Amino acid sequence: MEALQITLANGDVTAPEKLRHYFEAVFAAEDSGEEFAVRLSSVWRIGYGRKADAVAALRKSFVEGVDFEVLRQLPENPTGGRPEEVYSLTTSCLEYFVVRANREVFDVYRNCRKAVKNLLRGSLPDFSDPVASARAWADAEESKQLALAQASQAVAQLERARPKIEFADAVAIAANSVPMGAAAKHLKLPGIGRNKLFRMLRADKVLQANNEPYQHHVDAGLFEVQTQHYKAGEKGQRIVGTTRVTGKGLQWLTKRYKQAA
């Protein structure tokens, strides 16, 4: 007989039926094509006492962009507070990251998975009938060959368009923003060069400690972050963000600092 309540790692109590509804919604989102269908905020309590511990474990054992993604969400008050990082997981990451930490929760999860598989089995052909089996095999092979042909065509089109795409991206960045050194020259403030401007913007909470702008300034169109890839020896490639100032941002900086000078 199924227990009426399940105690989670942080002490919260939930009902199996509530978990079942949540997992069914997750599987439905996954079937619709959503890759990162699970919100960490909804499931971290299963295996962890604090969200911070769950985030640390997630980043240590799983790969961003493959097992999970992070989106930055502005707080309700746009003038205060840091943007919240919203973590979303794949269903496989969900299972190995938190669900297996609680046997009762895992039983609910596994039963939901079984129900989904049973639904899929109901749509399979009767393999005891050789004619039906041959027809199903032919249909599957035809679909496979069509998918491969479409994928090859898409890759070829992307390769042909790549130089144009890269050129368009470069022009867009150059037209819409300038590096911080050029922004400092534009301001023409006595003794203020690139590095001092960075320090001023960090002190004024415009930029973060890594010199990237806070998200609400990006959303306002004042700054852009240009991502660059470079080789880091045995560690492979690394991605670095470079802060650039937009035309609107130059006007904003001029108004902010020239009036204060």
- The answer to whether residue 71 sits within a structural domain is yes
pLDDT surpasses 70 at 132: no
What's the rounded mean pLDDT across residues 159-186? 62
The pLDDT assigned to 140 comes to: 59
**CA angle, residues 245, 249, 251, in degrees to nearest 5:** 130
What's the rounded mean pLDDT across residues 26-48? 83
The pLDDT assigned to 138 comes to: 65
- The answer to whether residue 1 sits within a structural domain is no
Query: What three-state secondary structure class fits 50?
Result: coil
pLDDT surpasses 50 at 103: yes
Instruction: Quickly list DSSP for 113-160.
Output: HHHHHHHHHTTS--TTSHHHHHHHHHHHHHHHHHHHHHHHHHHHHHHH
The pLDDT assigned to 232 comes to: 52
Which residue's structure tokens are 């079984």? Answer: 114
The pLDDT assigned to 63 comes to: 87
Secondary element (H or E) of residue 56: helix 51-61
**CA angle, residues 105, 109, 114, in degrees to nearest 5:** 145
What's the rounded mean pLDDT across residues 231-247? 70
Q: Higher pLDDT residue, 150 or 24?
A: 24
CA gap 13, 208 in Å, rounded: 38
The pLDDT assigned to 218 comes to: 87
Q: Between helices 180-187 and 247-260, what is the axis angle to 10°? A: 50
CA gap 253, 261 in Å, rounded: 12
The pLDDT assigned to 178 comes to: 83
- The answer to whether residue 72 sits within a structural domain is yes
Show the domain range for 221: 178-259
CA gap 222, 152 in Å, rounded: 40
Q: Which of 66-70, 102-106, 116-120, 156-160 has the highest mean pLDDT?
A: 66-70
Do 158 and 218 lie in a common domain? no
Do 11 and 113 lie in a common domain? yes
Number of domains in the chain: 3
On whether the CB atoms of residues 229 and 239 are closer than 8 A, the answer is yes
